[in-house]
Structure 1
């Protein structure tokens, strides 16, 4: 669906702390498309009607194309950016594609669970916290980190969608959980340092706690 009055740029509706929005920012930077990107900070707790018309789910990120098409979620946005850059960069065209997609799913799952825990603690009074539910989310994060630490994704000529998603997941854990993951996952610590050195946009998009 297209929306009239869209400027001749790609508009990314997100927030500075969103790991999923950060995925889109880093993907654009890696592909050399960040100069086309206009970032609009977007409120999702009490979303505006205009935003809900763009994404009825009321979630970020949303990418608005030059012709007014609204694209969501972050995985679709990365597919689109890869397409704009000629394809086969963030998402390889060969059999390695499925390794990349699986790593992206793993990293997005870390973010999903971490965001759920953050929201539970932020928006529900402490007496209503359901600890078994929080423990279940933490177990998801712990298992996924163990898998990624045992075999971090390789960084090819272009940083792919799996690498970008994992870096954003680790960055979100640094932001919301004081980097507690680092002590038991030295492989991922070294991996993230290399990623950050490869893509300066990672440091530029870091939000301080």
Structure 2
């Protein structure tokens, strides 16, 4: 299998943690594929017309877009405990946690894009809206993190873990741990998992060398 990949994308990280947790990572060839909202990457568009990562191409030539779709596909390829339960109350709890973490990641990516605009071109209203949404989400997670701890490890855990990891990577000035000790403790435990350690951006960046012919397809300042 081939995965259009980037070391800093939290959505790619979701897929890679899933791949490691399911024992499938060794079957995936990583292709460093820079993408940006305001650019196209022709190498990615051969497989995904949306020019987005992650994009997975199976050995049979099937192509899957979107981290949730890819994660569910990978979860169907192993015989161990499912990261996405097939039925029951736990399934809906896992999907809810995944939606919360992934939705927060969507907001964080857009918030970062707005913050990267030149001074004088940023929307104060937009920045405030993302700040408020992020703060409210973090408070919700803090208040309910004990419930997540009570669930078997799942895609919900992965999404929330990637959310905290992306905050550390791109929002160092936002002290999300302040007043959220339960979340901080949970994330400290999450980070000890081998699947989380080997997908840390600083570690993952060394896995696949940059290809200058592909790198120029996207503007470096807007890479996620």
TM-score by length of 2: 0.82
Q: Which runs of 5+ in 1 are unaligned?
A: 1-9
8 Å Cα contact 1:90-1:161 kept in structure 2: yes
Please name the residue that 1:186 is paired with: 181
Q: CA–CA distance in 1 between the matches of 2:76 and 2:111?
A: 34
Please name the residue that 2:162 is paired with: 168
Q: Which has the higher contact order (CA 8 A, sep 6+)?
A: 2
Q: CA–CA distance in 2 between the matches of 1:177 and 1:89?
A: 32
SS in 2 for 1:205: coil
Q: Residues 122-137 of structure 1: matches in 2 within 5 Å?
A: 122=116, 124-137=117-130
Partner deviation per Cα, 1:54-86 (whole Å, 9 max, x = no partner): 222221111111112110100001110111114
Please name the residue that 2:215 is paired with: none
8 Å Cα contact 2:115-2:127 kept in structure 1: no
Please name the residue that 1:16 is paired with: 7
8 Å Cα contact 1:111-1:169 kept in structure 2: yes
TM-score by length of 1: 0.88
Q: CA–CA distance in 1 between the matches of 2:137 and 2:115?
A: 22
- Extract structure 1 runs of 4+ deviating beyond 4 A: none
**Residues 1:31 and 2:26 aligned together:** no
Please name the residue that 1:112 is paired with: 106
What's the CA shift for 1:103? Answer: 0.6
What's the CA shift for 1:154? Answer: 2.3
What's the CA shift for 1:115? Answer: 0.6
SS in 1 for 2:56: strand
Q: Residues 79-94 of structure 1: matches in 2 within 5 Å?
A: 79-86=72-79, 89-93=82-86, 94=88
8 Å Cα contact 1:13-1:61 kept in structure 2: yes
The correspondence for 1:206, drawn from 197, 200, 205, is 200
8 Å Cα contact 1:113-1:138 kept in structure 2: no
Please name the residue that 1:6 is paired with: none
**Count of residues paired in the alignment:** 196
Q: Which runs of 5+ in 2 are unaligned?
A: 203-224
Please name the residue that 2:89 is paired with: 95
What's the CA shift for 1:155? Answer: 5.8
